[in-house]
Amino acid sequence: MSTNSSLIHVDNVSFNFHGLKVLQDISFSISPGDFLALIGPNGSGKTTLIRIILGILKPSSGRIVLMGEEVHQFTQWQRIGYVPQKATLLDPYFPASVREVVAMGLISLKRFPRLLTRQDESSIDKALDRVGLKGLKSRRIGELSGGQQQRVFIARAIVNGPDVLFLDEPTAGVDADTQARFYDMLAELNRKEGLTIVLITHDFGIITKHANKVACLNQRLFFHGTHEEFCSSQAVQDLLRGEHHLVCHRH
């Protein structure tokens, strides 16, 4: 695990919340081009870990290095895209059009006073096209279904062409068809454009199909390795036995 070749370096991170140990001694690295699936039961600290990596929460101890910079000094936000968990739980009456929400994702590319240009409009169109929502551009976001809202947030996260995309259960509430198309799109971005992806999911099908690295979290990081190692790991098999049927061959 060398810091220089890795895009993101998590070093001995622990997090306590009101005396409760949420995360303990987490260390791992993410390399450019990785498609990392972060899995673990509810309450295992997945969301907390991502929020720490992104500098939203301060770890109780340990450090995060993002693209060679300490996270609290990090400035290259235009290289990061983030779809928070349950992004759908926003105020349903918030007066923002779909276009306005996606436009927020462009802010990291711009200098003060960050006004939108015609080129930005076409980036917005392209991002909405990618998630299949181009026609709903001027609708109020609250009028969309939960799954459609989630897709708007995905468009917002990719509109600035990031190098790393963090997705926290992005397809909760998205129909199966759209899910399949969405993950195919992610896999394509990952393969063709080298987009690094960090995905929190409970869906083992996706891990099997797309991820090249897997991290299992439950307060501690009890597994981190390649997809193949994940499939052959006895510890993982024991842990998941009865809960999931692991299909580990790829087509």
Partner 1 sequence: MESLLSYAFMQRALLAGFLISITCAILGVFLVLRRDAMIGHGLAHVTFGGVALGLFLYLTPLLVALGVAVFSALGILKLKERAGLYGDTAIGIISSLGMALGIILVSLAGSFNVDLFGYLFGNILAIDPEEVWMALILALVVLITIVLFYQEFVFLTFDPESARTSGVQVRRLDKLMAILTAVTVVLGMKVVGILLVSALLVMPAAAALQVARSFKEALMISASVAGISAIAGLVIAFYFDWPASGTIVAVSGLFFLVLFQARSYRKPAQEELNERV
Ligand X SMILES: Nc1ncnc2c1ncn2[C@@H]1O[C@H](COP(=O)(O)OP(=O)(O)OP(=O)(O)O)[C@@H](O)[C@H]1O
Interface residues with partner 1 (CB under 8 A) are 51, 54-56, 75, 77-78, 80, 82, 84, 87, 90-91, 93-97, 99-101, 103-105, 107-108, 110, 112-116, 135-136, 138-140, 143, 148, 156
Retrieve residue 58's tokens: 């301060």
Nearer to ligand X, 31 or 47 (CB): 47
Instruction: Tell me: does residue 14 bind ligand X (CB under 6 A).
Output: no
Instruction: Tell me: does residue 16 bind ligand X (CB under 6 A).
Output: no
Please identify, among the stretches 37-45, 90-98, 145-153, 180-188, the one whose residues bind ligand X according to the rule CB under 6 A.
37-45
Instruction: Tell me: does residue 237 bind ligand X (CB under 6 A).
Output: no
Nearer to partner 1, 74 or 222 (CB): 74
Pairing of strands 164-168, 80-83: parallel
Give yes or no for a contact between 141 and 90, defined as CB atoms under 8 angstroms apart.
yes
Give yes or no for a contact between 128 and 87, defined as CB atoms under 8 angstroms apart.
no
Closest CA to 126 of 94, 93, 172, 159: 159
Choose the contact partner of 151 out of Mg ion, ligand X, partner 1, none; CB within 5 to 8 A by kind: none
Please identify, among the stretches 42-50, 72-80, 92-100, 111-119, the one whose residues bind ligand X according to the rule CB under 6 A.
42-50
Integer Rg of the chain from CA: 18
Cβ contacts of residue 161 below 8 Å, gap of 6+? none
Give yes or no for a contact between 53 and 64, defined as CB atoms under 8 angstroms apart.
yes
Nearer to ligand X, 50 or 141 (CB): 50
Closest residue to Mg ion in the complex (CB)? 47
Q: How far is CA 192 from the centre of its chain?
A: 18
User: If you count them, how many residues does the chain have?
Assistant: 251
Nearer to ligand X, 38 or 136 (CB): 38
| Residue at 217: amino acid letter | L
Choose the contact partner of 19 out of ligand X, partner 1, Mg ion, none; CB within 5 to 8 A by kind: none
Contacting residue, 45, 59, 84, 162, with ligand X by CB under 6 A: 45
Closest CA to 98 of 129, 77, 72, 68: 129
Instruction: Tell me: does residue 47 bind ligand X (CB under 6 A).
Output: yes
In whole angstroms, how close is the CB of 233 to partner 1 at the nearest point?
A: 32
Give yes or no for a contact between 62 and 111, defined as CB atoms under 8 angstroms apart.
no
Using CB under 5 A, list all residues that contact Mg ion: 47, 85
Backbone angles phi, psi at 152, to 5 degrees: -65, -40
Choose the contact partner of 17 out of partner 1, Mg ion, ligand X, none; CB within 5 to 8 A by kind: ligand X
> Facing residues of 104 across strands?
none
Please state, in angstroms and rounded to a whole number, the distance separating the CA atoms of residues 127 and 51: 24
Instruction: Tell me: does residue 44 bind ligand X (CB under 6 A).
Output: yes
Chain positions contacting ligand X, by CB under 6 A: 17, 22, 40, 42-48, 85
